[in-house]
């Protein structure tokens, strides 16, 4: 029995260690802000959400976006109940964490004790889940939640819950143990197997019988041996009991992680609502490649931090694989690039985005290569570092991926940098990778412009004739200067 | 005559061995080596074989052939070693059990003890068959192993052994069918026959089956100590034996009285003696793993050319290996061709002269007990005795007293040594003037030369290396580029202290040339 709230037919596996290319994505897109808003101080949610956000990046074809959208809509409608489900499963796991710090955990008797104790807690939590299902299942509309509640009611019916509770009582062996043994090399008792005591009466009918060995009260060695025998008997079942408790825990861990992801989404949703931001459920275009329709697309990190009104971008792009973005410094190019990257990630993992409308295709992978802030000098070591990062991406990237460059390879001079840019982007696009490239290398952008490749699109950060920036991005050919002079004037006038 | 021992061939009747280590053991560090080989106290009885040099070429070759078999096959070695271990384990176990059973005291004379004896017998039959079939399948060339193999062939087909095996397996079949139950509650155990009660773990497993995702950890559960309380185990077994299965255990009673001395004495002796070989090879292997080599020397009473190549002081090598400094081990060659009898070793201090003297003595002793010796190849004579005299710092004795003791010791050596003796003398004349030392040294060497003994004479007096005809001069040496570093190589060389002095001089820029230049400045 499984929760299956992330995939209709697949487990949700956490990917704890972010590989290098994802780490880059986190810092380039400033995802930390998003993670923190989603986690709201809960480290489990932080871990799950930061991993779940990328769940659409490996094997994106396995993600049923509609399935998650429906569940997410249910979550928004029934936030308290979803948070309750998270709380129940989280508590189950917290308890386990506390018990398992026993120093003698691996002696059969203490392992047994721990496992039974854990099972008692978990069974209690199973009962709580059943109650939630009984009370609230009618409020949910998504296939995911409906199946989940149905499963709880079917698998955890009254009869089964009763069986569990009886079994847990039995496991304390207050009526003694019945164990079968065989003869070892020198006829010592071996192969202890704990047996079910079929009838309690018959065992003790031989009171004072000649089949009984009594251990004298002060016989310490004898009593130690008795408890050794009990341990040997327990040994035959302790693995099963412990594995059972672990298996139930696996169920709760999965449920915790899946509800943690949606709780993270809820937290994010609440934070965006508080700032008065609009969200929409994006759609993935099933046909064609490299199509985008965004209306009022905002960067989520900024939507979360900035209280002020944001300028969203509204653009429609069809059939381009090389999008070159140029224009004014501080004109919103980087923010635009980030908003595309994050919206793409959120689309692919089945979340909402901060836009009025967002349509895009599904990419095999999402990569970013941003100029690092400290990379402004023209030291060769910096270019080295940039190339090393690029090479790490090249190890991973596959056709059908998308990559966002932000002023990459600018730690060398324009002529050399442009040549690198040209070579890298053409190699990428020719092998089926879609490229967004923010650059201030006029040499690079202009040469592409004069080449007039049909699949290349030029966007430009807008600049009013008075030098004022609108932070809007629209189509436009590359221009010679980046209007740094404007900013200079603004600051020095 | 039938096979009796792997240490001595059938017709070698003088099997006396020494209780104590011979005098030269300490000088040659052979005592350390033997302690190293026999670190297990239970194998102390082997020491006498390490002490006792053999003069019979036939017996030495008898052992060498077996060593050669074992050196050729690690599997053979391990198989025999394991067999020996099992047999001696069973033998000491058997003695304890018989003691308990004969005592007639209720708490010692139990069915548990009887079952132990049965268990040993069972194991004995298996091991004996195993070792025979192993030896039969794997060709060996030594007379000793082939003799043992034939002995086993006869033994295994003997009526006694066949009956032993048959009764054991009959009992085993009966015991293996027994399965009984214990009800454990409070401080009591009630035994009964097993009546097909279902096991408990399947019940739990079924109950939680719906949570089984096939990914459960294989948790490690600590093992329960195997040491039970003897009286509880014996008590339970007594109930099982007398109340549940009396017939079967009555058979055990008669089995035990019939077979309490089940181990064959020749097999028992084999197990002890084969350890002489395995222990030595185990020790040699610990050095061979570090790139050193042991070889089986050619030996004979009269041999024209005596030599050993790439040999080393075993005790020093072991010490360096233990300290992780095996790269510091230096191998040395020696050879005495035709009439050469005496090696005089000279050279700088700390250049490995004493080590060389030791290795020389060691190889003769090791060869004389039939063991492989350190080196890649060697040819050695069988000596009738080894005499050593090493300089020792004994502060209580005055210088005169010391010289007196030293000389009387040398005198007694020269009185008993023969042409077939090996004499190792390590510089002892430091307590006299150079003039006296030279005179005394010459006298001693000429005396040894007359005896015709084989001798290594370590000295700091270069002149001694030319005092008679049958002397080989060997010297320690230093690195030409850094004269403070010794190579620890002892090589055939004319003794000349000058070369070394020139190195030192150059290092301190005190050669004629260099000093002239400096004075100019």
**CB distance A211–B194 less than 8 Å?**
no
**pLDDT reported for residue B229:** 87
Please name which of A143, A196, A150 lies closest in space to residue A170, comparing C-alpha atoms.
A196
Helix H or strand E encompassing B242: none
Query: Residue B240 corresponds to which tokens in the numbers above?
Result: 């099982």
Would you say A73 and A142 are in contact if contact means Cβ atoms under 8 Å apart? yes
Better-scored residue on pLDDT, B376 or B460: B376
Dump pLDDT digits (tens) for B160-201: 999 999 999 999 999 999 999 999 988 899 999 999 999 998
Residues of A in contact with B173 (CB under 8 A): none
Kindly give, in sequence order, each residue whose CB lies less than 8 Å from that of residue B445, ignoring residues fewer than 6 positions away. B342, B344, B455, B457, B464, B467, B468, B471
**pLDDT reported for residue A12:** 85
Nearest to B201 among A206, A232, A236 (CB): A236
**CB distance A196–B200 less than 8 Å?**
yes
> What is d(CA A281, CA A294) in angstroms, rounded to the nearest whole number?
12
Query: Residue A23 corresponds to which tokens in the numbers above?
Result: 């780490």
Dump pLDDT digits (tens) for B36-49: 999 888 889 999 99
Residues of B in contact with A1 (CB under 8 A): 210-211
Please name which of B342, B382, B388, B387 lies closest in space to residue B364, comparing C-alpha atoms.
B382
B457 strand-pairing partners = B344, B425
Residues of B in contact with A181 (CB under 8 A): 179-182
> What is d(CA B133, CA B159) in angstroms, rounded to the nearest whole number?
18
Residue-wise DSSP of A266-319 = HHHHHHHHHTT---B--EE--SSSSEEEEEEE--HHHHHH--S----EEEEEES
> What is d(CA A113, CA A126) in angstroms, rounded to the nearest whole number?
20
**End-to-end Cα spacing for chain B:** 89
From the candidates B116, B201, B203, B205, which should be mutated to test the interface with A, based on the most A CB atoms within 10 A? B201
Residue B483 has pLDDT above 60, yes or no: no
Would you say A353 and A280 are in contact if contact means Cβ atoms under 8 Å apart? yes
Number of alpha carbons in the 13 Å side-chain half-sphere of residue A151: 16
Q: ∠ CA(B78), CA(B83), CA(B87), 5° rounding?
A: 150
For the ranges B194-203, B299-308, B346-355, which has the lowest average pLDDT?
B346-355
Dump pLDDT digits (tens) for A352-408: 999 999 999 999 889 999 987 544 343 444 666 777 788 888 878 888 899 999 988
Q: What totals of helices (H) and strands (E) does chain A contain, helices first? A: 16, 13
Cα dihedral sign, B512-B514-B520-B521: negative
Would you say A187 and B111 are in contact if contact means Cβ atoms under 8 Å apart? yes
Would you say A127 and A256 are in contact if contact means Cβ atoms under 8 Å apart? no
How would you label B462-481 residue by residue, b for 16+ Cβ within 10 Å and e otherwise? bebbebbeebbbbbbbbeee
Query: What ranges in B210-301 are assigned the alpha helix state H?
Result: 230-239, 246-258, 265-288
Query: What ranges in A137-185 are assigned the alpha helix state H?
Result: 143-155, 158-170
Kindly state the DSSP code that residue B224 receives in the 8-state scheme.
P
Residues of chain A short of pLDDT 70, as ranges, are 15-18, 58, 100-106, 199-208, 329-330, 373-384, 411-415, 465-469, 480-493
**pLDDT reported for residue B362:** 96
Residue B394 has pLDDT above 50, yes or no: no
CB contacts < 8 Å between A and B, how many? 201
Q: What totals of helices (H) and strands (E) does chain B contain, helices first? A: 18, 14
% pLDDT > 70, chain B: 88
Token pair 């070591």: residue: A381
Please name which of A79, A88, A82, A18 lies closest in space to residue A53, comparing C-alpha atoms.
A18
> What is d(CA A431, CA A441) in angstroms, rounded to the nearest whole number?
23
**pLDDT reported for residue B515:** 45
Query: Residue A238 corresponds to which tokens in the numbers above?
Result: 């302790």
**CB distance A222–B236 less than 8 Å?**
no
A474 strand-pairing partners = A460
Token pair 């004037």: residue: A489
Average pLDDT over chain B, rounded to an integer: 86
Helix H or strand E encompassing A492: helix A484-492
Instruction: Indicate the pTM of the whole model.
Output: 0.64
Min Cα separation B163/chain A (Å): 20
Residue B323 has pLDDT above 50, yes or no: yes
**pLDDT reported for residue B435:** 66
Would you say A211 and B192 are in contact if contact means Cβ atoms under 8 Å apart? yes
- Report in angstroms the alpha-carbon separations of A181 from A230, B128, B194: 12, 30, 9
Nearest to B189 among A210, A213, A224 (CB): A213
**End-to-end Cα spacing for chain A:** 69
Minimum CA–CA partner of A249 in chain B: B211
Min Cα separation A169/chain B (Å): 12
**pLDDT reported for residue A375:** 42
> What value does the mean pLDDT take over residues B469-496?
76
**pLDDT reported for residue B501:** 44
Number of alpha carbons in the 13 Å side-chain half-sphere of residue B203: 19
B464, B466, B469, B470 alpha-carbon torsion, rounded to 10°: 60
> What is d(CA A193, CA A179) in angstroms, rounded to the nearest whole number?
5
> What value does the mean pLDDT take over residues B129-134?
96
**pLDDT reported for residue B217:** 65
Cα dihedral sign, A417-A419-A422-A424: negative
Query: Residue A377 corresponds to which tokens in the numbers above?
Result: 């000098």
**pLDDT reported for residue A374:** 47
What ipTM is given for this predicted complex?
0.78
> What is d(CA B101, CA B86) in angstroms, rounded to the nearest whole number?
22
Cα dihedral sign, A404-A408-A409-A415: positive
Min Cα separation A90/chain B (Å): 18
Min Cα separation A260/chain B (Å): 21
Task: List strand residue ranges (DSSP E) for A382-453, in order.
Answer: 402-406, 434-438
A436 strand-pairing partners = A323, A404
């Amino acid at each position: 029995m499984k929760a299956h709230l992330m995939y209709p037919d697949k487990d949700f596996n956490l990917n704890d260690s972010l590989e290098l290319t994802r780490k880059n994505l986190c810092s380039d897109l400033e995802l930390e802000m998003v993670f923190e808003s989603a986690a709201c101080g809960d480290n489990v949610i932080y871990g799950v959400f930061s991993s779940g956000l990328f769940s659409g990046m490996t094997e994106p074809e396995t993600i049923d976006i509609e399935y998650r959208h429906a569940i997410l809509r249910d979550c928004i409608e029934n936030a308290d109940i979803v948070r309750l489900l998270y709380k129940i499963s989280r508590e189950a796991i917290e308890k386990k964490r506390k018990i398992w710090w026993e120093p003698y955990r691996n002696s059969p008797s203490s392992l047994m004790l721990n496992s039974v104790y854990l099972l008692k807690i978990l069974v209690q939590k199973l009962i709580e889940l059943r109650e939630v299902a009984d009370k609230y299942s009618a409020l949910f509309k998504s296939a995911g939640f409906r199946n989940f509640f149905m499963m709880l009611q079917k698998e955890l019916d009254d009869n089964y819950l009763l069986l569990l509770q009886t079994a847990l009582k039995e496991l304390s062996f207050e009526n003694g143990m019945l164990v079968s043994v065989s003869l070892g090399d020198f006829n010592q008792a071996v192969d202890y197997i704990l047996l079910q005591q079929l009838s309690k009466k018959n065992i003790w009918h031989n009171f004072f019988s000649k089949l009984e060995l009594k251990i004298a009260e002060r016989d310490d060695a004898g009593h130690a041996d008795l408890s050794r025998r009990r341990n040997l008997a327990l040994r035959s079942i302790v693995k099963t009991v412990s594995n059972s408790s672990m298996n139930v825990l696996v169920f709760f861990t999965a449920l915790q992680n899946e509800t943690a992801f949606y709780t993270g989404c809820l937290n994010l949703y609440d934070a965006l609502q508080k700032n008065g931001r609009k969200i929409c459920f994006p759609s993935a275009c099933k046909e064609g490649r490299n199509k985008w329709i965004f209306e009022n697309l905002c960067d989520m990190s900024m939507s979360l931090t900035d209280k002020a009104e944001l300028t969203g971008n509204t653009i429609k792009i069809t059939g381009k694989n090389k999008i070159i973005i140029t224009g004014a410094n501080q004109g919103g190019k980087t923010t635009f690039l980030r908003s595309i990257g994050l919206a793409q990630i959120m689309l692919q993992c089945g979340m909402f985005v901060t836009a009025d409308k967002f349509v895009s295709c599904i990419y095999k992978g999402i990569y970013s290569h941003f100029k690092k802030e400290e990379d402004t000098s023209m030291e060769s070591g910096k270019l080295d570092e940039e190339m090393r990062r690029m090479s790490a991406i090249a190890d991973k990237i596959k056709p059908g991926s998308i990559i966002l460059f932000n002023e990459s390879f600018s730690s060398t001079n324009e002529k050399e940098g442009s040549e690198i840019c040209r070579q890298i982007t053409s190699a990428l696009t020719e092998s089926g990778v879609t490229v967004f490239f923010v650059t201030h290398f006029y040499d690079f952008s202009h040469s592409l412009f004069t080449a007039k490749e049909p699949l290349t699109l030029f966007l430009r950060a807008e600049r009013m004739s008075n030098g004022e920036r609108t932070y809007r991005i629209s189509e436009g050919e590359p221009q010679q200067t980046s209007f740094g002079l404007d900013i200079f004037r603004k600051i020095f006038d | 005559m039938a096979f009796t021992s792997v240490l001595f061939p059938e017709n070698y009747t003088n099997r006396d061995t020494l209780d104590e280590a011979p005098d030269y053991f300490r000088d040659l560090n052979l005592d350390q080596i033997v302690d190293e080989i026999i670190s297990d106290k239970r194998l102390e009885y082997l020491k006498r074989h390490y002490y006792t040099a053999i003069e019979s070429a036939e017996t030495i070759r008898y052992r060498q052939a077996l060593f050669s078999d074992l050196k050729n096959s690690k599997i053979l070695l391990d198989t025999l070693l394991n067999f020996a271990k099992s047999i001696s384990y069973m033998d000491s176990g058997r003695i304890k059990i018989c003691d308990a059973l004969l005592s007639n005291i209720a708490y010692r004379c139990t069915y548990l003890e009887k079952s132990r004896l049965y268990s040993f017998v069972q194991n004995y039959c298996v091991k004996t068959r195993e070792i025979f079939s192993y030896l039969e399948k794997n060709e060996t060339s030594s007379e000793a192993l082939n003799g043992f193999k034939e002995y086993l062939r006869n033994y295994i087909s003997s009526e006694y052994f066949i009956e032993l095996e048959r009764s054991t397996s009959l009992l085993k079949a009966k015991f293996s069918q027994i399965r009984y139950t214990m009800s454990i509650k409070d401080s009591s155990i009630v035994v009964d026959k097993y009546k097909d009660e279902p096991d408990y773990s399947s019940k739990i497993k079924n109950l939680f089956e719906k949570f089984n995702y096939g990914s459960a950890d294989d948790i490690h559960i600590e093992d329960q100590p195997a040491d039970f309380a003897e009286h509880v185990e014996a008590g339970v077994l007594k109930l099982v034996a007398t109340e549940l299965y009396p017939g079967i255990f009555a058979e055990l009673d008669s089995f035990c009285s019939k077979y309490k001395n089940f181990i064959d004495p020749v097999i028992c002796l084999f197990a002890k003696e084969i350890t002489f070989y395995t222990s030595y090879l185990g020790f040699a292997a610990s050095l061979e793993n570090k790139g050193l080599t042991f070889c089986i020397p050619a030996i004979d009473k009269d041999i024209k050319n005596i030599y050993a190549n790439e040999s080393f002081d075993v005790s020093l090598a072991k010490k360096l290996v233990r300290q992780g400094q095996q790269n510091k081990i230096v191998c040395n060659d020696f050879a005495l061709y035709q009439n050469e009898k005496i090696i005089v070793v000279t050279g700088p201090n700390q250049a490995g002269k004493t080590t060389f003297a030791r290795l020389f003595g060691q190889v003769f002793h090791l060869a004389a007990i039939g063991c492989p010796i350190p080196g890649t190849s060697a040819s050695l004579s069988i000596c009738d005795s080894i005499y050593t005299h090493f300089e020792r710092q004994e502060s209580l004795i005055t210088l005169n007293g010391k010289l007196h003791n030293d000389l009387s010791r040398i005198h007694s050596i020269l009185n008993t040594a023969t042409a077939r003796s090996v004499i190792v003398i390590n510089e002892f004349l430091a307590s006299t003037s150079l003039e006296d030392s030279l005179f005394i040294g010459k006298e001693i060497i000429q005396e040894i030369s007359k005896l015709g003994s084989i001798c290594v004479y370590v000295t700091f007096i270069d002149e001694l290396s030319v005092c008679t005809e049958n002397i080989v001069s060997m010297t320690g040496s230093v690195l030409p580029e850094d004269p403070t570093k010794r190579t620890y190589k002892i090589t055939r060389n004319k003794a000349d202290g000058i070369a070394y002095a020139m190195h030192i001089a150059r290092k301190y820029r005190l050669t004629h040339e260099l000093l002239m230049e400096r004075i100019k400045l």
